[in-house]
């Protein structure tokens, strides 16, 4: 196994931040669509939306968007904002479509038992959640990617 001094694993709190960014962006897309379909009164009533339109917009659309981003950019917008990418754990290369599909399905495995599979990112030495382990992926970013360090006296 080769080591990289150029990259570091992305830990729990940065990944939480990326997820929050993705969630807000997804809400910005989904709510106007649902508003256009159901109208203000039905959305405001708090009634659980049912039907094929809600299933398509609230469940299938997010899956498609996430998988497309993972395949095209190796990251969602939230991960891009923190400079993170998803890579194959063995090669460091781009994950396959199959790995991305397994990774997405792995989110369900990770969240069902009290989100333990997601919390696992915080204790794993490679910062892998269960979804990463199932798919054979890791989330990395370049080390020292910040701005120029402060220098005094020059």
Instruction: Name 5's Cβ contacts closer than 8 Å, sequence gap at least 6.
Output: 143
Query: In this structure, what are the phi and psi dihedrals at residue 28, rounded to the nearest 5 degrees?
Result: -60, -30
Encode pLDDT of 20-68 as tens digits: 999 999 999 998 998 888 887 777 776 566 778 888 998 999 999 999 9
The single residue listed with the structure tokens 């009634």 is 47
Tell me the three state secondary structure of residue 4: coil
Longest dimension (CA), the chain: 67
Predicted confidence at residue 48, as pLDDT, reads 63
Encode pLDDT of 65-87 as tens digits: 999 999 999 999 999 999 999 99
pTM comes to 0.85
């Amino acid at each position: 196994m080769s080591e990289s001094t150029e990259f570091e694993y992305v830990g729990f709190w940065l990944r939480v931040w990326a997820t929050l960014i993705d969630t807000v962006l997804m809400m910005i897309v989904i709510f106007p669509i649902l508003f256009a379909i159901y109208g203000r009164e039905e959305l405001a009533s708090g009634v659980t939306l049912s039907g094929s339109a809600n299933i398509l917009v609230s469940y299938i659309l997010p899956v498609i968007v996430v998988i497309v981003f993972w395949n095209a950019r190796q990251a969602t917008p939230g991960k891009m904002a923190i400079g993170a990418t998803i890579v194959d754990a063995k090669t460091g290369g781009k994950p396959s479509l199959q790995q991305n599909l397994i990774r997405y399905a792995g989110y369900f495995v990770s969240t069902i038992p009290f989100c333990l599979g997601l919390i696992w990112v915080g204790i794993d030495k490679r910062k892998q959640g269960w979804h990463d382990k199932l798919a054979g992926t890791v989330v990395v970013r370049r080390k020292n990617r910040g701005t120029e360090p402060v220098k005094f006296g020059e």
